[in-house]
Amino acid sequence: MAESSSRLILDYEKVKISTKETKKEQQDAKDVDERPSWLPDGWIMEVNRGDDGTIYRYYTSPISGLTFMMKSEVLEYLFSRMDERFLESKNCATHNKLVMTHEWLPNDWMIEVRAGGENIDKMFKFYVYPPAGVRLFSKEDVLTYINKSKITPFDTNGQCDTSMKDNILANVEFNPHSLPKGWVKELVFRKTENGVRKDPYYTDPVSNYSFRTRRSAMLYVQTGKIPKRAFIQRTRVHDLYSFEKSADLHESLRKRLSFTTTTNQKPRRSLKLKNSSLTKEILSEEETSYSSEEDFCYDDSSDSTTKIRKNMAKIAKKNGKSRKMISLNTLKCSVGRPPKRSNEIRGMTCEVEIKQQSDSD
């Protein structure tokens, strides 16, 4: 009898402990899912639990769609007033013809603009889906591909050749990643003596400022400060590509098809070595801040070091220097007056002169 009562007591204690643990787990789960008081209304909070039990919280802005994992990041974002700039860009995009006429275009699709016509006086617009290598000629063809996975053949009556890269003028991407709606990324193609150069430009629909890197564009969105390299294009990207299928080639695009001198050497800058070495000068020309985001690249896949060495050889040849390759790591130049000769050498010279004079006497 005593044993049965003790067993009942033990079972009761186990049930009591189990109930407490269950309540604690429920309270912990409630605390995990509870929305923090500092998070603004409208923000989305998502909670995930890792395999090891670690809790991960994600906070997403309803305006920009940007996601953060820490409270400090959210507060920094709120104080930067980025949401206001995102709203401003979004409102401006609703009145932008280029953006609105291509609002139907799915993500990861872009516009490809090519030169064509009998006298290369026309420009043609294509819709390209790079992941699948698909190129289509109209909105209807794109929708057919999306809905039925069917590629519609197109015909430009021989006016535009899509089998080569020489006639590509630009690739245009709408709403690039991490930038507000309405922004446009334009990848400009230019012919040079070294191949085809590609220069990206990120354009703000509100201020019309263009930025050479995504980083500088994001910095502008975060702070509202315009960097030194930002500029306003004479012909806006929103005005250049607002046509359908084909149009007359814009005068500002014509020069992209002709060969231009590369910027590896600046003709206005003296090639004399002043305070910096020849190596530093060449590296500063080749490895600019744009190289991190494909701002200055060529279609050929040659190594960048090989290009730098070739450019060094060209400069040395133009200056009449020896063709011997200069080291990329160190380059020492003699500066100042030549060293004085030692007394021993000077004495030997005097003895030779005296001897020659005595022989002549």
pLDDT of residue 81: 81
Threshold 0.75, pTM exceeds = no
Cβ pair 253, 169 in contact under 8 A? yes
Residue spans of the chain under pLDDT 70: 1-32, 259-361
In 3-state terms, what secondary structure has residue 129?
A: strand
| Residues 6 or more apart in contact with residue 174 via CB below 8 angstroms | 99, 102, 105, 110, 184
- The encoded tokens of residue 330 equal 């160190």
pLDDT of residue 45: 93
- Report the C-alpha gap between 157 and 155 in whole angstroms: 6
pLDDT of residue 133: 93
- The encoded tokens of residue 54 equal 């670690």
pLDDT of residue 262: 52
- The encoded tokens of residue 141 equal 């063809």
Span between the terminal Cα atoms of the chain, in Å: 147
**E strands of 280-339, at which residues?**
297-298
Compute the chain's Rg from CA coordinates: 34
pLDDT, tens only, 138-189: 999 999 999 999 999 998 888 999 988 889 999 999 989 889 888 999 999 9
Dihedral angle at the C-alpha atoms of 307, 312, 315, 316, nearest 10 degrees?
A: -140
**E strands of the chain, at which residues?**
44-49, 55-60, 67-68, 110-116, 122-129, 134-136, 168-174, 184-192, 195-203, 209-211, 231-232, 246-248, 297-298
pLDDT of residue 350: 45
- Report the C-alpha gap between 43 and 53 in whole angstroms: 25
Cβ pair 86, 66 in contact under 8 A? no
Which residue type is seen at 286? E
pLDDT, tens only, 18-53: 665 555 555 555 556 788 889 988 999 999 888 888
Cβ pair 125, 167 in contact under 8 A? no
